A and B are shown apart, each in its own frame.
Chain A
């Protein structure tokens, strides 16, 4: 009996390990295709931006950056799979953008655990990589340690905050803008007066966005009830679906989802409700435009463009020979922006939000209640 038990449990462990080993390899083709399409879009955006810069600048900083960076090798450290349709896909697209813009060679390692990150960085450094990019706050200690071991290699970290190592460039997006403008959109669009925000995890950037989301509702004089729930994972579509289904059953007609691959579960729940006749239910996507997952009910939402962050550091800091530090960019630098609404809310609401954004970009002081943080 005991032997059977041991064999069963061992096989369970084995099966789990095999699953985890196979997970990245079992990537659905569709997602890869989407990534490619998105990458092409991103590249187009970058090219467009490049053209603007070329027209306005007396010198061509991008050409200078290209000249300095061409042929260099960029390594990426990612916490999940590049096809998670969220955080890590953004990082992958950013690296592809950097490759196409500056002529870099790129390589990356997925599913890097915190305890392995330092050695992965060292491996890349020892293998002759010229720039190392770690995507996520969780690598802060490791990248700071390894950056000091390899002082001649520039290190980049998104959502980092260390600013006193000369070869470490930490960058974050200005936080709060997305929350505020999506709050303004959602609190006007809701018909039931109930909104649910589904997050993968509770972390400071997200908490501040939610704070600003609620602030926008307050500024509107809206009495909409805003609830926030957490999945506890960035890779759990099943749980995301459960939470979204429960929220819709509870009367929410606007669901905001920021859960990477978990977002597909939210889309499924909203689709089921929509197909059953709840034609007013809407989902607002986050990090990138996910309207393609549900054109009838997914509002483009808010983009947080990792490519813009990476290109900014590569061109404006590393290629320019600037020392490391902590940097923050946002809407002004087109690193964060609202995606198309696809006619899924009334034109009046869309016009109101667009006008508010335009006013804010011209004069950030036009919305005194919007507190933007760059220290998170």
Chain B
């Protein structure tokens, strides 16, 4: 009996280790990054504990801090999901930055053009436009990869530069505006600049397209009728931070759930993962690899495009040059530290958002420069990459195979002995 139970216990332990490994790697990576950065801060002449405390306070110490953490993490969740989903199918999307910018541009274009539309319709139209713009941009490299064998890392990366130039150009072309400049010349269709002011930035998108905030939720008649007389309700209404916490972080959670279901519970996701593991094996299974790559790119580009729309409709409400720097590129480390899992990407984006939100408080309080936060991020990525090189799963598989073959050998010998004794 004991001989039968022992391997079962070992399997449970191995299974636990294997499962928890995806969580252990980023956690250890983060802890190690903080430990080494702490030494650097000590070398700088400051107290690392005080510095980390300041980061924490800057990220969570006040309603303003929490609002900033949430707004900073939201686009990173979407770009992290875009990269993670793409990679699962072997489509390494380095173009999330450009797709994000195109998404923002498209959402803004709709938001400043159809200013008479009702809010709900305009929001949907903005998201749709951003999704289509991001998806279209990802589709071209995907087609080149699927049909012509082009390396998508290069093509998606190069598309970023094309988009940035187009974006900068578009910001300098007047977009028609009712009552100011209503001429729709051919070039104006591509322009986004607000004609009423000199700088290269768009007008604000129509106010009804701004994502609702916690504050606006509190002001609804239903909530007011229930809590209107309470002290905390009045205090909440006066808190400007609640005006900045919008629906966007909640939509990011929804995005995580949708991508999780898509990735692990649907045929589309299964095909994508199969192609990601081995295109040849997937082809042998009857999966159309080219089509899967195209579909994956569409989904990945859509997610990156939505990141831009979230920033415009939720936070900035207009585009301008460098309005959101590197959020697309940061999606790569977000996905990697998140172990290419949707929930992991959310946690990783949360970590990055909190670091960004708390960085300046650290500088003000402890004189440690903001750049230290980038060192922490970089070290975390380094350790996370190092962690992925540990072949724990294959080690267990190998050891399991060895023990199975040993047991088979023992059983064979015992059978032979029995046969000899019988004889």
Interface residues of A (CB under 8 A from B): 2-3, 5-7, 9-11, 13-14, 16-18, 20-25, 107, 109-111, 113-116, 118-120, 122-124, 126-127, 137-138, 140-141, 149, 161, 201-204, 232, 375-376
Contact = CB atoms under 8 A, between A and B. Distances in A.
Contact of A126 (B62, B90, B377, B382): B62
B103 to A, nearest CB: 15
Nearest to B164: A232
Given A10-B336, A18-B378, A107 B364 contact: yes
Interface residues of B, number: 54
B252 to A, nearest CB: 16
B364 A115 contact: no
Contact of A120 (B165, B311, B360, B369): B360
B357 A6 contact: no
A84 to B, nearest CB: 15
B323 interface: yes
B356 A114 contact: no
Interface in B352-388: 356-357, 360-361, 363-365, 369-372, 374-375, 377-378, 381-382, 385, 388
26 contacts: A6-B92, A9-B94, A9-B332, A10-B332, A10-B381, A11-B385, A13-B381, A21-B372, A21-B375, A25-B371, A109-B363, A110-B370, A113-B322, A114-B325, A115-B315, A115-B323, A119-B64, A119-B357, A123-B364, A124-B364, A127-B364, A138-B320, A141-B318, A161-B197, A201-B321, A202-B200
Interface string B305-334: 000000100011010111111000100110
A340 B388 CA distance: 61
A3 B276 CA distance: 11
A201 B168 CA distance: 10
A138 B357 CA distance: 19
Contact of A204 (B94, B198, B381): B198
Contacts of B365: 127
Contacts of B356: 116
B240 interface: yes
A114 B324 contact: yes
Contacts of A17: 333, 374, 377-378, 381
B contact face: mostly helix, strand, loop, or mixed? helix
Given A10-B385, A109-B360, A114 B68 contact: no
Most chain-B CB neighbours within 10 Å: which of A7, A14, A127?
A14
A172 B117 CA distance: 37
B358 to A, nearest CB: 9
A210 B200 CA distance: 17
A17 B377 CA distance: 8
Contacts of B168: 232
B227 interface: no
Contacts, number: 116
Contact of A115 (B94, B316, B378, B385): B316
Nearest to B64: A122
Given A10-B381, A137-B199, A115 B371 contact: no
B375 to A, nearest CB: 5
A114 B336 contact: no
Contacts of A161: 197
A185 to B, nearest CB: 26
Contacts of B145: none
Nearest to B317: A141
A146 B350 CA distance: 24
Contacts of A122: 64, 68
A138 B360 contact: no
A219 B388 CA distance: 69
A2 B278 CA distance: 10
Interface in B174-200: 197-200
A114 B332 contact: no
B58 interface: yes
Contact of B329 (A7, A13, A110, A232): A13
Interface in B137-171: 153, 165, 168
Interface string B71-102: 11000000000000001001010100000000
Contact of B385 (A7, A113, A114, A375): A7
B153 A119 contact: no
Contacts of A22: 371
A141 B374 contact: no
B374 to A, nearest CB: 3
Nearest to B315: A115
What are the nearest 3 A-B pairs in CB distance? A21-B374, A204-B198, A119-B68
Given A122-B64, A201-B321, 8 more contacts: A3-B388, A10-B333, A14-B378, A14-B381, A21-B378, A24-B371, A116-B72, A119-B64
Contact of B320 (A110, A114, A116, A126): A114
A149 B378 contact: no
A149 B329 contact: no
Given A6-B92, A25-B369, A109-B370, A115 B324 contact: yes
Given A6-B87, A13-B332, A123 B58 contact: yes
A14 B62 contact: no
A119 B360 contact: yes
A13 B374 CA distance: 12
Contacts of A140: 199
A16 B323 CA distance: 20
Contacts of A23: 371
Contacts of A21: 371-372, 374-375, 378
A2 B89 CA distance: 11
B291 interface: no
A21 B382 CA distance: 15
A153 to B, nearest CB: 14
Contacts of B400: none
Contacts of A123: 58, 360-361, 364
A20 B339 CA distance: 24
B172 interface: yes
B141 to A, nearest CB: 14
Contacts of B361: 123, 127
A122 B58 CA distance: 10
Contacts of B197: 161
A122 B370 CA distance: 16
A120 B389 CA distance: 38
A104 to B, nearest CB: 16
In this complex, the member of A6, A140, A202, A375 whose beta carbon has the largest number of chain B beta carbons within 10 angstroms is: A6
A341 B248 CA distance: 56
Nearest to B333: A13
A18 B372 CA distance: 10
